[in-house]
Structure 1
Amino acid sequence: MRVVIAREPGTGRWLLLELQHHLIGDNTTSEVMYAEVRTVLAGHAHELSAPQPFRNLVAQARLGVDAKAHEEFFRTMLADIDEPNLPFGLSEVHGDGSGVGEAHRMLPQALNDRLREQARRLGVSLASLCHLAWGQVVARSSGRQQVVFGTVLFGRMHAGTGADRTMGLFINTLPVRLDLDGTGVAANVRATHRRLCELLAHEHASLALAQRCSGVAAPAPLFGALLNYRHNTPAAMAGSGTDDGLSGMEWLGGEERTNYPLTLSVEDFGEALGLTAQVVEPISADRVCGYMQRALEQLAEALEHAPNTPVRELDILPAEERTYLLEDLNRTAAAYPSERCIQELFEQQVRQAPEAVALVHEDEELSY
């Protein structure tokens, strides 16, 4: 971690920039750190609790599920996957990530309510519905029915006492495989929920181990898309205003980057849902948000009215993009002198430009 400070010329304002590699921390780490900073600045440093050692997680991970169990689970899930799953053909982020576009959007409240109602009715998590919808986006953008993408696991659920106050990297990225075939939507939602529950038992497995259990040979990536389902407070996405514990300080903004060329974060605010997409150029991040919103709308519609609809039939194209692709791009009508015959038009061209080239065949040319 690096912290850089500078005084703004001509004002009494100081700016602070924090650079943190994801190797050493996650969102909870940042929250713990900022809470300690607030405590110190308030003059209550003596009230800080004893730091929780990160080695507790290391021990938990090493003494928990053994490598053989991890390997058996991932081999069962991935052994027949022999090609990288790369939506839009995107395989990596080049350079420092400056060529990555980012887009945010809040989903309509009615869609949020419908999705939560269906999750309750089926007895599954809302995250399961979102994973299935994202699987459909990945499937349509990569031409696959068996899709693999990365999902971010919180990592603190089974990390022992005090894990909620420990600083360090707990999150883990692991592959999840979904089969988007002729199975009905409701059945596929339940299957996705089961798969995610099974994955939780392996949340501290190595991604390298999981990849070795597939048929994709290193150094090729197993997948190029990532889904991060995040539980947020409403203020987490505001991006403005002041921090309630740091009087006189203003939050100017932040930026996060990964090595995945296609990342979608679902922002769960408890009673509202948002989307954040990060995509390498030339794919538009806002288009990706549109695909995900459409997939969620189609999923809610099918669960409400036709739960046996094959999941592969769900659409991801928003109405405006469908119109653009099928109508706007094909709008080729043009005015022309329709009252004259083709030979008359040819004769007119002969009179106007008799020496202009009319036909070319290999090395031969014919003028009008």
Structure 2
Amino acid sequence: RVGVSIERSAEMIIALLAILKAGGAFVPLDPRYPAARLSYMLSDAGVQHLVTQRGLSTVAITPDSMTTLYVEDVQNEDSTEYDHPPAVVIHPSQSAYLIYTSGSTGQPKGVTVEHGPLARHCQAIGERYQMSVEDRVLHFASINFDLAHEYWLMPLLFGARLVITDNVLWSPAETCAQLAHHGVTVAAFPPSYLVQLAEAAQARQDKLALRVLAFGGEALSREHFELVRTVFAPATLINGYGPTETVISPMLWITQPDTDPAEWQHNAYLPIGTPVGARSAYVLDAALNALPVGVAGELYLGGAELARGYHARAGMTAERFIPDPFCAGGRLYRTGDRARWRSDGSVDYLGRLDHQVKLRGVRIEPGEIEAQLLACLGVREAAVLVHGDGGDGQLVAYLVAEESGAPLDRTLLKSQLQQRLPDYMVPAQFMLLDRLPVTANGKLDRRALPAPTWKGRAYRAPESVVEISLG
């Protein structure tokens, strides 16, 4: 296992590719991550070699027992260039990379992905994207996200050109300018950034060459999706779905400019589509029985394109990767996501099972409330939690405004929600934040959301006959 901690550059891509060709497994270590988290990953992964650059924080936390190779030293050496790959035989079941994802215990957990599933996925995803040598693909995500590796492997596999962003996050306006300047035809962004990008593109009126625009990982409201669809027409829009354990983006929902809006206008979330490559998808009940169209259950993904499992966590691997009851010798990954089949053969995403809450006897999916909040005017980000126990429990909405510092009319928000949701799903309190807290890999950190403060009136004993009788 070889750690890679290099600033965003051509050298970063070369290092990742070189490790794969040499038969090693790379462990991505974004130098912008906190030192404590990088140190934990180095130790937990058992990294033996580190490829890095002088002056980066990763160097300071590297154990003496680890071999460190500096990119600058290699660049200064007189080296022979080869026109053929190394004489290394790589088996499809060898590890290709070990990447870390958030853990429920607070510590990240490593997911091991093999060469075979990774290669088959990149081939299948490129075919779905209709990639060609004419494409120019933007590499935007941090290498600590698995999507980043699809977005350099897929272009190289199909002979496309790669455009790599800088170390500093571009503003939406700058991204628009760079997309236009480089003639980028394929790009992927987190939904929250994509909305800002659409607004910037609308204001700048840049002529973009985008052919495919992908997004995923967060909820995107129907209104924001309509904005993106209008601004970036006639680009094909792709909603990618997939846990790290199922190798990057195992399901895609693809919309063309002429796609009927009825496909997404009646649900809280956009559909997540159909499996990519030789994968299988099942919606099952608690007893692993297959559920019919329209009935909600847990989504399970199977087939040959699954990760090997969690590094050095056999118990957790056995819990999440189970024997496939529909295919002898196969495995299924239990996603923990609620889903249902659509009549057209695609899948609707309905939220996380572990985020479901029960409030005064009624089961509630906070994600559905969040999706409706995102559809309200002026709301950029939203999260919903239950605070309090039993009968004292109350729904609290945490909101980030479209414009920094702009006020939100809580009365209007409540009125809008009451038109779309039953009363028991309307939050009792709305808290306006500058930003929502996130974990090191960019996901919402619900545990870091501030506790609400409740205002009440002092108790006054009943006095009139009516008050006493009601009491």
TM-score (norm 2): 0.22
Which structure carries more helix by proportion?
1
Q: Give the strand-richer structure, 1 or 2.
A: 2
Q: TM-score, normalised by structure 1?
A: 0.26
Q: Which has the higher relative contact order, 1 or 2, with Cα contacts under 8 A spaced 6 or more apart?
A: 1
